[in-house]
């Protein structure tokens, strides 16, 4: 038997499941769109990894000293709900919500949970290689990133976490705007869904899971719902915090680079 999360029902064959998914796709999409979702609840990536930033990736992001750069979300990965965020998902929302986005702890919109207020949060999207966020997939992902001055961090606990380089992740509160269904179905009446499946499958980093499941939900547009959060375990562990800090020694005084396990002197990255 094959269990379908969206329908909360088990089926004898994938084709039976596809038929009912197609028949109920509008209702499922409407439910996904009205829900305010937290990516930490959706399990986009489940493994934990620690990684280092290279000179190339520091240059790519243009890290400023005394700033932090939380990576809030990344695209082209199928999560535990079968959703795949596509490139460009945040473009409209970032334009509309410029200067209105908080960085908070644990998705708590309370004065005691604010890490940085909107006036100090510069949210932007950057296309980066998967290796930039600690993954071994080929190709690139679009990362939703916040640029925040370290001096603007209001929450003492968050400041301690950053200074001590503790392993935390990030998550976005969001609402879906444009979604469509992709089905690996052979039925003629599912031709549009099949076309979606064929056109988008190869863009997904973990496409082997999408292919095995036989369907996924393409999210072309979403809006940030007020905040992105520092969390202990994000849905997507390719959501580190990156920051530059002034070196304590001059170049001539610094020790020569060691093996690849050593973090760069000026740019420390952690998940």
Q: Structural domain boundaries of the chain?
A: 37-247+264-270
| Residue in this structure with the two tokens 């509008």, named with its chain if needed | 26
Predicted structure pTM score: 0.81
Q: CA-to-CA distance for 89 and 107, rounded, in angstroms?
A: 20
How sure is the predictor about 71, in pLDDT bands with cuts at 50, 70 and 90?
confident
The CA-atom distances, in angstroms, between 215 and each of 17, 46, 200, 211, 239 are: 10, 20, 11, 7, 25
The β-bridge relationship of strands 215-231 and 102-105 is parallel
145-172, pLDDT tens digit by residue? 999 999 999 999 999 988 887 778 888 9
CB 118 within 8 A of CB 90: no
Lowest mean pLDDT across 4-13, 184-193, 246-255: 246-255
162 or 216, which is more confident: 216
CB 242 within 8 A of CB 264: no
3-class secondary structure, 186: coil
Q: What is the DSSP letter of 44?
A: S
The CA-atom distances, in angstroms, between 130 and each of 57, 140, 189, 205 are: 11, 5, 36, 9
Strand order from edge to edge, sheet including 67-74: 122-129, 140-149, 67-74, 241-244, 267-270
Whether the per-residue pLDDT at 97 is higher than 80: the answer is yes
Q: How many residues does the chain have?
A: 271
Looking at the DSSP bridge assignments, the partners of residue 222 are 176
Whether the per-residue pLDDT at 260 is higher than 70: the answer is no
pLDDT of residue 57: 59
Q: CA-to-CA distance for 14 and 184, rounded, in angstroms?
A: 9
CB 267 within 8 A of CB 241: no
H or E element at residue 68 = strand 67-74
Q: What is the mean pLDDT of residues 11-23?
A: 96
> Between helices 14-23 and 25-34, what is the axis angle to 10°?
70
């Amino acid at each position: 038997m094959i269990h379908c999360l969206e329908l909360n029902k088990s089926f004898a064959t994938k084709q039976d499941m596809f038929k009912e998914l197609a028949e109920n796709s509008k209702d499922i999409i409407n439910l996904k769109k009205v829900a305010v979702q937290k990516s930490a609840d959706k399990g986009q990536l489940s493994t934990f990894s620690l990684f280092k930033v290279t000179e190339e990736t520091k240059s790519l992001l243009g890290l400023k000293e005394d700033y932090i750069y939380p990576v809030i979300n990344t695209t082209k990965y199928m999560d535990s709900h079968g959703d795949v965020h596509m490139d460009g998902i945040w473009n409209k929302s970032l334009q509309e919500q410029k200067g209105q986005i908080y960085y908070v702890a644990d998705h708590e919109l309370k004065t005691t949970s604010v890490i940085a207020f909107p006036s100090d949060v510069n949210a932007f999207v950057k296309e980066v290689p998967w290796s930039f966020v600690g993954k071994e997939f080929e190709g690139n992902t679009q990362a939703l990133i916040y640029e925040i001055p370290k001096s603007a961090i209001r929450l003492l606990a968050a400041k301690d976490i950053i200074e001590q380089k503790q392993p935390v992740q990030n998550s976005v509160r969001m609402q879906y705007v444009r979604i469509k269904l992709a089905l690996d179905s052979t039925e003629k009446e599912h031709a549009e869904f099949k076309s979606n499946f064929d056109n988008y499958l190869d863009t997904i980093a973990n496409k082997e899971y999408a292919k095995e499941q036989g369907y996924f939900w393409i999210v072309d547009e979403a809006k940030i719902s007020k905040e992105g959060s520092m969390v202990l375990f994000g849905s997507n562990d390719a959501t580190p915090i990156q920051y530059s800090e002034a070196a304590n020694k001059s170049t001539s005084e610094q020790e020569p680079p060691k093996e690849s396990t050593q973090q760069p002197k000026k740019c420390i990255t952690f998940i």
